[in-house]
Structure 1
């Protein structure tokens, strides 16, 4: 059975849209005890999942949030250790330490009127000399 050109074009378009995703820029501010994660320089984001991990312990979550009952919940920022409305805690928060390196990973959906495209974002950070800094990535290290 031979597929017609219009059917192939429709199939290719649907497949291409399904494979789309967007990147979200994550930033961090505040102190070591209560850092604040913001999305795309302070705009609200529809967040499904946020995970904070210790780089020295791959796969170990220090704090994990997930949206409850929906695919994502709108937030302007998330404060470490505080559960925003519409989220549940999957991993309770562990205190953070100065000079340790952390990864923050987030996922959600864009809020375009025409479509909801999945987004993801990540940040590798370290609290040094009284402020958050981008953590360097060791070349050739396991998991990098």
Structure 2
């Protein structure tokens, strides 16, 4: 057995797991059951903040194949942010890194928010333009 090769890799994996386990989660949900194109609304909540605003600096939306379709980032890092995110609308205190591409019917996407905490939601755009969480 090659313990001298396996042990360093195992330690790296353990460190990554410990670091990611310490990061508090953000809950990302659709604002309602009636969200539609072109600008569905998402809510971001951080349960560990006991009702306080969530902490995130980056918003990214990716298609199922990993193509980035929208990316914004905060102008100043480490602060608290609003709970409401509208696809394609740059939140106050953010700047556009990649402008929004139109979301397409029949496709799967994911929205991710990250910073001091992180979270994501996978969602589907129906053929009629309705937006719902992936099941």
> How does the TM-score come out when normalised to structure 1?
0.65
Q: Is the 8 A contact 1:28 1:37 kept in 2?
A: yes
Please give the alpha-carbon distance, in whole angstroms, between the structure 1 residues aligned to 2:105 and 2:82.
Answer: 27
Aligned to 1:37: 42
Change in CA separation of 1:81 and 1:20 when aligned onto 2, cut-off 3 Å: same
Between Structure 1 and Structure 2, whose CA radius of gyration is higher? Answer: 1
Q: Does residue 89 in structure 1 map to residue 96 in structure 2?
A: yes
What's the offset of the Cα at 1:53? 0.5
What's the offset of the Cα at 1:45? 1.8
Q: Which runs of 5+ in 2 are unaligned?
A: 1-17
Structure having the larger proportion of residues in helix: 2
Please give the alpha-carbon distance, in whole angstroms, between the structure 1 residues aligned to 2:68 and 2:93.
Answer: 20
Change in CA separation of 1:38 and 1:130 when aligned onto 2, cut-off 3 Å: same
Please give the alpha-carbon distance, in whole angstroms, between the structure 1 residues aligned to 2:71 and 2:44.
Answer: 17
SS at match of 2:22: coil
Aligned to 2:123: 125
RMSD: 2.4
Please give the alpha-carbon distance, in whole angstroms, between the structure 1 residues aligned to 2:98 and 2:76.
Answer: 18
Report how many residues are paired: 109
Q: Is the 8 A contact 2:55 2:117 kept in 1?
A: no
Structure having the larger proportion of residues in strand: 1
> How does the TM-score come out when normalised to structure 2?
0.69
SS at match of 1:63: strand
Aligned to 2:24: 22
Aligned to 2:133: 134
Change in CA separation of 1:34 and 1:69 when aligned onto 2, cut-off 3 Å: same
What's the offset of the Cα at 1:127? 1.7
Please give the alpha-carbon distance, in whole angstroms, between the structure 1 residues aligned to 2:36 and 2:72.
Answer: 20
What's the offset of the Cα at 1:93? 0.3
Q: Which runs of 5+ in 1 are unaligned?
A: 1-15, 109-117, 137-144
